[in-house]
Amino acid sequence: MTYSRGHGLCDYPKSSVSTCPNDASRLLFRYQACADIGKSVSATEDVRCMAKWKEGSTHYFLGEDITIGIYKWRGGGLKPFIPPT
């Protein structure tokens, strides 16, 4: 997958997302650092899916980053953080 965290599109080396083998409601995002993107670092996020929906051809989900406990909007790119209620 490619991703952007506000400093440019990171498309090499390829990052990945996969379901956790023991819990299909969780996704594991593995971000690879890009040499040509400043402030780019390798990171892993373990995300629990809280809700999912589709608008047109774009799929979205609301997930909780299990490591730090913050909700995120995903789909069509990384969206702003939404604080838990």
User: What mean pLDDT comes out for the span 7-35?
Assistant: 87
Residue 82 pLDDT grade (very low, low, confident, very high; cuts 50, 70, 90)? very low
* Residue 13: both structure tokens together: 């080396």
pLDDT digits (tens, 9 = 90+) for 31-76: 999 988 887 889 888 888 888 777 887 777 788 887 776 555 555 4
pTM beyond 0.75, yes or no: no
In the prediction, which pLDDT does 73 show? 54
